[in-house]
Structure 1
Amino acid sequence: MLYAALRHAIGMLRVDYRQVHCGEVAVPADPDTLILHHVSLRAMVQGSYWK
């Protein structure tokens, strides 16, 4: 599940980087917000998601 979530996050991050590059969206103050569901992904990596 973590691997699938990470692959999805990487794909969506590439989409967001392209939007920033093309000027469609501004660069956020916290770049982690460009990662879709970054809070859940961080919890998975830390091991607290499944508790």
Structure 2
Amino acid sequence: MSQAKIKLRFAKIKTTLTEAAKTNFLPRKISLAAVWLRGNGFPLVRF
């Protein structure tokens, strides 16, 4: 495989990972925070 093709493939993988991270990261963080708060005696937090 040529260098250009390899570079292109890596770029594609990188963008895919970045997009996935962007879309999944925030909801996961929020739900983790919610679980943590609930576990520490904050039953008022509901998701």
**TM-score, normalised via structure 2 length:** 0.44
More helix by share: 2
**TM-score, normalised via structure 1 length:** 0.41
Name the structure, 1 or 2, with higher relative contact order (CA <8 Å, separation 6+): 1
Q: Which has the larger radius of gyration?
A: 2
